[in-house]
Structure 1
Amino acid sequence: MNTCDLCDRHEAMLRVLALPLRDFGGRLAFQGTVSTVSAFEDNSRVREAVAEPGLGRVLVVDGGGSLRRAMLGDMLAEKAVENGWSGVIVHGAIRDSAAIGQLALGVKALATCPMKTEKLGRGERDVVLAIGGVVVRPGDWLCADGDGVVIADHALA
């Protein structure tokens, strides 16, 4: 599946994430049901999420767009692969980009930053996010590739 074809066929049903995301993962194209995290400069909830069975889901992390601390690094990305996550999208920064690029995981983020986050247990999981000009809800379906990210209320063929 690719995002351009989906937009051509299902334009009225799609929301396009309007963020300048870069590809960092070893998989450029990925899709799945959405799970969300909202947290600012604390990746405790990201750690919790990727430690659970991913079942092919995509984790969408709203890090508030912060580029001062990385919400995902190689250890959490490895855990996501081990547990069957399809991808992670970060409205913020990641680190360990070279290692993440070797993993069978889709990863899109705004940028990289070598600084890790604090681990204070802050943030929320499976909440509605408003990022990139769209609403992203837990249970939505997301498809990502080199052309962008599209979101629908349910899986599309």
Structure 2
Amino acid sequence: MSTAPFVTCDLLDDNPDKELQVVTPSMDGKFFKSYGARKSFGGQAVTVKCFEDNSRVKELLATDGTGKVLVVDGGASMRCALMGDLIAESAVKNHWNGVVIYGCVRDVDAIAELDLGVHALASIPQKSNRKGAGETDVQLNFGGAVIQSGDYIYADNNGIVIARESLVSL
């Protein structure tokens, strides 16, 4: 497994002069959990906004993701998963560093074996519908953070940090 050369706590401490954002847990207990084998990951963000439809997630993770992290705003839906093992395997095959999902995943035991960083709010066995809905490269707002394609995402078991510029070589 690849290990990213950072700890999010240290990134914050070592860069007090940078405008960094931290994705915060919400008052209703929504916080991110790590599901992939890669516990620390980062890269340049590619954003997608979709609600209970993982069409765009599947499409994007089937493209070259070298140096990238897919950030998905699934509206915090707890009714279906936006990624399962087959889509996660596609992400590994296409060299994505990780996926952050403001929503759910499924097939968590299989995902736990993949060399991929995966942070999501929860797991659920229900798959999503595919109707071709969703927007890519849009500004996302969740966890008190604003995330745009091109930002840099750094995630580990401490949390998720967003920067407008690269902080470490990945």
Counterparts of 1:31 and 1:90, CA distance in 2: 14
Q: What's 1:98 paired with?
A: 109
Q: Between Structure 1 and Structure 2, how many residues are aligned?
A: 157
> Is residue 5 of structure 1 aligned with residue 16 of structure 2?
no
1:130-145 correspondence to structure 2 within 5 Å? 130-145=141-156
Quote the RMSD (CA, aligned, Å): 0.8
Q: What's 2:85 paired with?
A: 74
The SS at the match of 2:15 is helix
Percentage of matched positions with identical amino acids:
48
Counterparts of 2:98 and 2:149, CA distance in 1: 14
The SS at the match of 1:122 is coil
Counterparts of 1:84 and 1:131, CA distance in 2: 26
Counterparts of 2:162 and 2:7, CA distance in 1: 12
In structure 2, which of residues 9, 18, 24 is the aligned counterpart of residue 18 of structure 1? 24
TM-score of the superposition, structure 2-length normalised?
Answer: 0.91
1:46-125 correspondence to structure 2 within 5 Å? 46-125=57-136
Q: Partner amino acid for 2:57?
A: V
Counterparts of 2:62 and 2:102, CA distance in 1: 20
In structure 1, which of residues 19, 29, 35 is the aligned counterpart of residue 40 of structure 2? 29
Structure 1 gap ranges (5+): none
**Structure 1 segments of 4+ aligned residues over 6 angstroms from their partners:** none
Q: What's 2:3 paired with?
A: none
Q: Partner amino acid for 2:24?
A: A
TM-score of the superposition, structure 1-length normalised?
Answer: 0.98
The SS at the match of 1:48 is helix
Deviation of the 1:31 alpha carbon: 0.6
Deviation of the 1:54 alpha carbon: 0.2
Deviation of the 1:2 alpha carbon: 1.0
Deviation of the 1:55 alpha carbon: 1.1
Counterparts of 1:101 and 1:6, CA distance in 2: 25
